[in-house]
């Protein structure tokens, strides 16, 4: 089984390590730091791996707030 870190973009991890409190993403009135983005991304990746999603599988997300 492929681990989460094998499928996860390394640049997010690097930015979270180097500048964890710097703003990474802003959408409307909400923003996330690189550390928050890293934490949320790892959480989502673990959820997908738990569902059996593997590297190379097609995946689509649709949602509204």
Assigned domain for 25 exists: yes
Average pLDDT of 1-7?
Answer: 52
Query: What local confidence, expressed as pLDDT, does residue 43 receive?
Result: 93
Quote the pTM value: 0.72
Q: Is the dihedral of CA 46, 49, 55, 56 positive or negative?
A: negative
In a domain, 65, yes or no: no
Is 29 inside any structural domain? yes
Task: Write the pLDDT tens digit of every residue in 6-60.
Answer: 555 688 889 999 999 999 999 999 999 999 999 998 898 899 889 999 888 888 8
Range of the domain at 13: 4-50
The predicted pLDDT at position 31 comes to 97
Number of domains in the chain: 1
Residue 17 lies in a domain: yes
Task: Let me know: does 34 contact 43? Beta carbons within 8 Å.
Answer: no
What does the pLDDT read at residue 1?
44
Residue 44 domain-assigned (yes or no): yes
């Amino acid at each position: 089984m492929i681990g989460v870190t094998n499928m996860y973009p390394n640049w997010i991890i690097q930015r979270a390590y180097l500048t964890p409190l710097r703003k990474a993403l802003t959408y409307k009135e909400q923003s996330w730091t690189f550390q928050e983005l890293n934490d949320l991304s790892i959480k989502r990746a673990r959820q997908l791996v738990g569902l059996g999603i593997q590297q190379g599988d097609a995946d689509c997300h649709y949602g509204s707030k």
